[in-house]
Structures are given as C-alpha cells and as structure tokens.
A and B are shown apart, each in its own frame.
Chain A
Amino acid sequence: IQLTQSPSFLSASVGDRVTITCRASQAISTYLAWYQQKPGKAPNLLIYAASTLESGVPSRFSGSGFGTEFTLTISSLQPEDFATYYCQQLNSFPRTFGQGTKLEIK
C-alpha cells in the first residue's frame, strides 16, 4: 500500500493551524498512524487508529479520516512542533510509510 503525503514541505508561523494530508493507494479503514520526527531522533508516535491520541501527546494534535484519505491537524503551532511528520499504515503487510512532510518556520 502506497501512502502519499501532501504537502511535502510546509512553511508556517507559531500559532498557525496546519493540516497535513495522507492518501492511501487502497482503502485501509482507520489503520493509520502519525509520527513526528526531529533531526537526529527516532520518530515519535503521535496518533494511531487515525484519530486516537497517544498518551502524553498534546491535545493540539488531532487526526481524522477513513478509507483512503486522512489528515493530521495541529491547531496552534508551537515552536517545538517544527519537525517532519510521517503517516504509516497498519492495514496490511508490509507496513509502509508516507514520504514525510517537513514543517518549517516561516
């Protein structure tokens, strides 16, 4: 299953609301997770089952979607949110990831 994220790059300011989209090449129900990765670090799980927030993740992060289209929304960007975000499907093996969306400071 191929996952395509858009945009690949996003420039935004602190306080902005941003949305990242992940499209699957076939329907995956809600078997989707989102990760945040900062330079030199491993990815960190943010959301699973498309919309369930991982413990400890701030509530400004939210996810939605079903089937082939999913979104990750950050309601009010904080300085620590500037990072690269990846979606990943858990519908079938092999597990696959999107190509990433790099969120940069405007």
Chain B
Amino acid sequence: QVQLQESGPGLVKPSQTLSLTCTVSGGSISSGDYYWSWIRQSPEKGLEWIGYIYYSGATYYNPSLKTRLSLSVDTSKNQYSLKLNSVTAADTAVYYCARGADQPFDRWGQGTLVTVSS
C-alpha cells in the first residue's frame, strides 16, 4: 500500500521560501506509472492544485504559482520536493502531496499546515 508523508517547517516568514518534501513508501516513484502532485487547501481558496513532477523530472506548474514555484525529485530517496518563494500570508494553507495528476489523486499524504507569519 503506497503511503505519502509530507515534512518541512510549519512556520515561514513573509518573503522567504517555503520548502516541503514528500516521502513515498510502499511504491517507487521511478516506476513511471504515476505523476506526483502537490495540492494545498485554505479556507479562502479551497483545494488548489499546485503542480506535478514525473520521475524523469518533467514538471507542470499551476500558472497562478509558476513564477514562484519549483518542484524537484530525488528517486534515490523516493522523495519529491516543493519550493515556493516570496511567500505571503495568502500562501498559508495545509499542503498535501498526492499521487496522480493525469489520473485521479488516489493516494494522499496526511497534510502539513504551513503558516506564513513574522
């Protein structure tokens, strides 16, 4: 059973960079069977898909975040990561990693709350 787990700081200062990592267990990112996504949820915006990365490093970013976003993958660790720079209070949300993008999101991490505040 594939499991995903987010990790990273829960508090980020405005204008700094939000960094999160998703560790995948029970399955290999390198299998190439899935895309791997980040999704966030806030009361203001609801569920917002951030982007995906493939094991090869191919990415697609939500245009609303594209200028501030970078996704990367480390197949040796079976992890993928998110970096969002120049954050503001509007980036405060629960961040989820999830399996899918070209397919439905059928596996999710438990989510991690990231607060942007000084």
Contact = CB atoms under 8 A, between A and B. Distances in A.
Contact of A90 (B63, B98, B104): B104
Interface in B66-109: 96, 98, 101-106, 108-109
A33 interface: yes
Contacts of A54: 104, 106
Given A94-B62, A94-B64, A45 B105 contact: yes
Contact of B104 (A42, A45, A99): A45
Contacts of B103: 48, 90
Contact of A94 (B63, B98, B102): B63
Contacts of B110: 41-42
A35 B100 CA distance: 14
Contacts of A93: 60, 101
A42 B96 contact: yes
A85 to B, nearest CB: 12
Contacts of A100: 46-47
A90 B37 CA distance: 13
Nearest to A43: B108
B49 interface: yes
Interface of B: 37, 46-49, 51, 60, 62-64, 96, 98, 101-106, 108-111
